[in-house]
Amino acid sequence: MPTPLSRRFEAALVFATRLHAKQTRKGTRIPYVSHLLGVASLALEHGADEDTAIAALLHDAVEDQGGKPTLARIRRRFGARVAEIVEGCTDDDTVPKPEWRVRKERYLRHLDIAPADVRLVSACDKLHNARAILADYRVLGEALWKRFKGGRDGTLWNYHSLVQAFSRHGMTPLVAELARVVAELDQLVAARAGALEEK
C-alpha cells in the first residue's frame, strides 16, 4: 500500500519552490528545487511517510533560507515532527557559519545520535549530492573541486565519513548505494591522477 500524500505535501512543495526560487545548484544554473525534488523522491522510494517526505522537501530551508525564523514557519505550517527532522538535517544556521571542517565534524557526530527519520533524509540528501558530484566530475574533472570549500580532499573525506556514519546504523540499500557512488568517485579520481602522472 503506497504512502498517501495529502495537500500538506502539495503545500510543502509550493512552499519549498518559492523559498528557494532564486537559488541554483552550486556552480550551475540548475534551479535548486531540482535537488529538493530528488531528495524527496529518494526518501519516498526508501519508505518515508508524509512528514518525512515533507521534511525532505524542506531539508535545506533553515540552512539556506532564513535560519531559525524559517524553522518557526515550518513548525507552524507543517508541525513539530517535520520541523524536528529539518532541524536535524541542518548543518548550521548561524551567520557567519563556523569553519567548514568544524561544521562537518559536528554534523558527523550528530548523525550517530540522530533519529532514524533524520538519518533517512540526510542519507537521501547526501546520495543525491554524491550522484551530482560524480556526474559533474566526469565532465569537469579536477576543476569541479573549486566549487567546494573543502576542495577535493575535504569533500572526499566528508563523503567517506558520511558512509561510515550511516553504516554504523546498518547497511541499508540506501547507504549501500551511497557507498557505491562514493567508491566510483574514488576510482575516477584515482584514474585521473594516474593519467596525469603518466603525461
Cite the active site residues.
63-64
- CA distances to 11, 13, 45, 180 from 5, rounded to whole Å, are 11, 11, 13, 30
CB-CB contact of 29 with 70 (8 Å) = no
98 CB neighbour count, 10 Å cutoff: 12
CB-CB contact of 63 with 36 (8 Å) = no
Q: Taking the CA of residue 65 as centre, how many other CA atoms within 13 Å lie in the half-sphere pointing to its CB?
A: 22
Torsion, CA 161, CA 24, CA 187, CA 101, rounded to 10: -30
Q: Taking the CA of residue 38 as centre, how many other CA atoms within 13 Å lie in the half-sphere pointing to its CB?
A: 19
Q: CA 51, CA 44: separation in Å to the nearest integer?
A: 11
